[in-house]
Amino acid sequence: MFRTLREDIQAVFDNDPAARNWFEVVFTYSGLHAIWAHRIAHWFYKHRMFTIARIISQASRFFTGIEIHPGAKLGRRLFIDHGMGVVIGETCEIGDDVIIFQGVTLGGTGKEKGKRHPTIGNHVVISSGAKVLGSFTVGDYSRIGANAVVLKEVPPNSTVVGIPGRIVRLNGERVGPLDHGNVKDPVYEMIKELQGKIEELQQEIAELRSRNDGGHAGRSDAGASQDGGSPVEAGHAGKGEATDSDGPKPGSDHGEAHGDKGNSGAMRETASDGGVGHDKGGDDRHDGNGS
């Protein structure tokens, strides 16, 4: 028993740089007080003196702000830092060298009997405000990020963050046990990747638009050089010609038609007169030759 007490005190020095001496640790660390009170309550619980065990547990909760059910099984060298608001359920099992920060809940998710709380492996760090709910195992050397809600099993050497908890790793390497602030956020990483994809697509769309605009401009210039003017002017000119050829306009166009008919008649008369003169000239020549 005294060996266990010494290990509990040493765990405080190993994990809290603010710890200065044994006297301060023994008389001022509420997490240490809650663990010691639980060891007494758990002894009564194992001997089926449940009421006495619960009285001790509730008294410890009143003085420390940490509620540990007498039926929970705690490993060696457990360290509860600050501890206010920590709740550990009846069928919870905690391994050795585990660190728990304030506001952590190790609870169940239903009213079923039997095992309904999580099993925490060795060398696990559970950061402040995290909720581990359900009957599953959190593997050794795993880390639960602050305010994470873990609802399913966690393999060893893993880091869990988010709501609900998602497993992430930091470059595939295990980091220091107290470095719980250096954790990648998978949601942020995914949003960052999607933002990069969106920027690439926007750049491709801009390039395609510039190519299409250049192609239209080249075709327009080629059409203008062939027609001797812009495509718009050529189109207006074609429309004007088509309108003139559709039919004569009233007034001046009708007079021009009559003038054309008169000119054609005069031309026929002139041609006939020329033919007569030509015949007369031939007769004269014939008479001269005859004479």
Helix (H), strand (E) at residue 138? strand 137-138
The per-residue pLDDT for 271 is 44
**DSSP code at position 122:** T
CA atoms lying within 13 Å on the CB side of residue 222: 6
The per-residue pLDDT for 22 is 86
DSSP 155-216: -TT-EEETTTTEEE-BTTB---TT-TT----HHHHHHHHHHHHHHHHHHHHHHHHHHHHHHH
The per-residue pLDDT for 274 is 45
Strands 79-80 and 99-100: parallel
How many helices (H) and strands (E) in the chain?
Answer: 7, 14
Structure tokens at 61: 């909760």
Strands 87-88 and 67-68: parallel
238: left (phi over 0), alpha (psi -120 to 50) or beta: alpha
Burial of residue 69 (CB within 10 Å: 0-12, 13-18, 19+) is: buried
Q: Residue 117 and residue 238: Cα distance in Å, rounded?
A: 88
Strands 166-168 and 159-161: antiparallel
146 Cβ neighbours under 8 A, 6+ residues apart? 101, 127, 128, 129, 130, 180
The one-digit pLDDT tens for each residue of the chain (291 residues) are 678 888 888 888 888 888 888 888 888 888 889 999 999 999 999 898 999 999 999 999 999 889 999 988 998 888 898 888 899 988 899 989 899 998 899 988 877 778 888 999 899 999 888 999 988 888 888 888 888 888 888 888 888 888 887 777 655 555 455 555 555 666 777 888 898 899 999 999 998 988 888 766 666 666 655 555 554 454 444 444 444 444 444 444 444 444 454 444 444 444 444 444 444 444 444 444 443
What type of residue is 95?
G
State the residue for tokens 């809940």.
105
The per-residue pLDDT for 173 is 57
